[in-house]
Structure 1
Amino acid sequence: MAEIHAVVFDLDGLMFNTEEIFNETGTELLRRRGIMDSQPVIDRMMGRRAHEAFQQMIDYCNFSETIEELQAESDIIFRSILHDRLAPMPGLFQLLDRIEERTLPKGVATSSSRKYLEEILGTQNLLQRFHMTLTSEDVTNGKPDPEIYLTAAERLQVEPAHMLVLEDSGNGTKAAAAAGAHIVSVPHVFSQGQDFTGTEHIATSLLDPYIWKLLED
């Protein structure tokens, strides 16, 4: 197994159940427009920066609305359910504790905005536990482009091959694999059918023995 010198987490669907909330939001947004089979659309959006995700929706559904119009309506739906539904994914806090026991630097690399990242991590007092965070605003090219993970390795001062990346989506997996990181995919019910080509391992959760084996002393 690879020698791991740093760990980088995706945010949505990996650390928190927000992909479940996004899925419900997207389903409602599409239902209002007469589209009942939402999953093909949501699969194309998952893991991408917001403006790119909504462009996927527009292109696939042939909508005449703008990205801004769809995003504004989506934000209202999302925030109406967020704080009642938000929960950490199983094993998150145990894994963070283990990484800290190993004194490994860790970061977050998300396609979401910085304001959103700070809000989500802030609800659980997690911001201060990460050495660095990267968002959609810190890169030119979003996932599946490798830029965000190449930048993460540079910020954490490690070679990508020694950086463990944990991702829940096919787009994120492609980004990490293209960066040369040691990528472990942790799909959930909404991403399990996606293409995880390039991953080193498909884990059942953040408690998967493969992940913990990588973090042994």
Structure 2
Amino acid sequence: MLKGIQSVIFDLDGTLVDSMWLWHDIDVEFLEQRGLTLPETYQTEIEGMSFTETARYTKELFHLSESVEELKEIWNRMAIEKYTYEVKFKPGAEEFLRYCKDRNISVGIATSNSRELVGAVAKSLHFEYYIQEIVTACEVKRGKPAPDVYLEAASRLKVQPKHCLVFEDVPMGILAGKEAGMKVCAVEDAFSFAQQEEKKKLADYYIADYYEIFERNENRSVYEAGIFAHLQGGYGKTRSETI
């Protein structure tokens, strides 16, 4: 999977961190405060949109009085505490970040979320050390499924798209990575489980969690002395050279 890969670029929510659950709760609470009900298709409709695009779409859909910028600020306030104290890594993600760091594989984040919330969870989970570049969809012309955010991340990382591997949890994001000319690995997530088969068809690879990357390694017996010992409380120094 990592042969020829110089950079790994993660989507954030549902991919690097387990956070999609909180957005459902926030959407329900936000709309209930205004006497509105969350449509069943809402999450699918906003899939891949930037934070700004989502605010604009929501304002128009529900005829809200708040401006786009006011909506973004409200959502940031509602989410910041959860991103700071409740959001955790997806299984194996932290170990995989460490693996990339050890192998000099540069790492970026390309997300539809706000920079404020990315910063909050990065600080909380202490993964700033592993990340070279963060690009939000608000910083490019088009959100996912357009390739803009991934192409911008590759540009900032100074790596050609063909040498990048994208990790994504939803079809729109997978399409964005493929359109950018990158390899894409789909990541299983409870909130996109109904799209599992579509994700498998669109992506080059599919994993239930990041531990699978190590399990697929031909030299797993060598690497497990390091990464799997760490999971049991100790961190060995022996590592395999390829995945």
Q: Indicate the TM-score class for this superposition, using the shorter chain for normalisation.
A: 0.7 to 0.9
Please state how far the C-alpha of 1:212 moved relative to its aligned partner.
5.5
Please state how far the C-alpha of 1:34 moved relative to its aligned partner.
4.9
Provide the C-alpha distance between the structure 1 equivalents of 2:54 and 2:115, rounded to a whole number of angstroms.
Answer: 17
1:198 to 185, 198, 202: 202
Do residues 131 (structure 1) and 157 (structure 2) align?
A: no
Deviation larger for 167-176 or 36-45: 36-45
How does the TM-score come out when normalised to structure 2?
A: 0.76
Please state how far the C-alpha of 1:55 moved relative to its aligned partner.
3.0
Counterpart code for 2:169: D
User: Alpha carbons of 1:71 and 1:131: their partners in 2 closer, same or farther (altered >3 Å)?
Assistant: closer
Please state how far the C-alpha of 1:110 moved relative to its aligned partner.
1.4
On the 8 A contact 2:184/2:205 being kept in 1, the answer is yes
Deviation larger for 89-98 or 188-197: 188-197
Query: 2:110 maps to which residue?
Result: 109
Deviation larger for 141-150 or 151-160: 151-160
Do residues 41 (structure 1) and 42 (structure 2) align?
A: yes
| Structure of greater relative contact order (alpha carbons < 8 Å, 6+ residues apart) | 1
Query: 1:26 maps to which residue?
Result: 27
On the 8 A contact 1:114/1:136 being kept in 2, the answer is no
Please state how far the C-alpha of 1:211 moved relative to its aligned partner.
8.7
SS for the counterpart of 2:191 is coil
Which ranges in structure 2 are unaligned for 5 or more consecutive residues?
Answer: 219-240
Larger Rg: 2
User: Alpha carbons of 1:213 and 1:35: their partners in 2 closer, same or farther (altered >3 Å)?
Assistant: farther
On the 8 A contact 2:84/2:121 being kept in 1, the answer is no
Provide the C-alpha distance between the structure 1 equivalents of 2:183 and 2:216, rounded to a whole number of angstroms.
Answer: 14
Do residues 87 (structure 1) and 88 (structure 2) align?
A: yes
Encode CA deviations 1:55-86: one digit per residue, 9 max, x unaligned. 33345x44343434543443343235444422
Query: 2:242 maps to which residue?
Result: 216
How does the TM-score come out when normalised to structure 1?
A: 0.84
Provide the C-alpha distance between the structure 2 equivalents of 1:100 and 1:5, rounded to a whole number of angstroms.
Answer: 11
Please state how far the C-alpha of 1:176 moved relative to its aligned partner.
0.4
How many residues are treated as equivalent by the alignment?
A: 216
Which ranges in structure 1 are unaligned for 5 or more consecutive residues?
Answer: none
On the 8 A contact 2:76/2:117 being kept in 1, the answer is no
SS for the counterpart of 1:191 is helix
User: Alpha carbons of 1:206 and 1:80: their partners in 2 closer, same or farther (altered >3 Å)?
Assistant: same
User: Alpha carbons of 1:129 and 1:35: their partners in 2 closer, same or farther (altered >3 Å)?
Assistant: same
Do residues 63 (structure 1) and 63 (structure 2) align?
A: yes
Please state how far the C-alpha of 1:33 moved relative to its aligned partner.
4.5
Encode CA deviations 1:91-150: one digit per residue, 9 max, x unaligned. 111111211222211111112233332222111222132222212343222221101111
On the 8 A contact 1:136/1:142 being kept in 2, the answer is yes
User: Alpha carbons of 1:208 and 1:48: their partners in 2 closer, same or farther (altered >3 Å)?
Assistant: farther
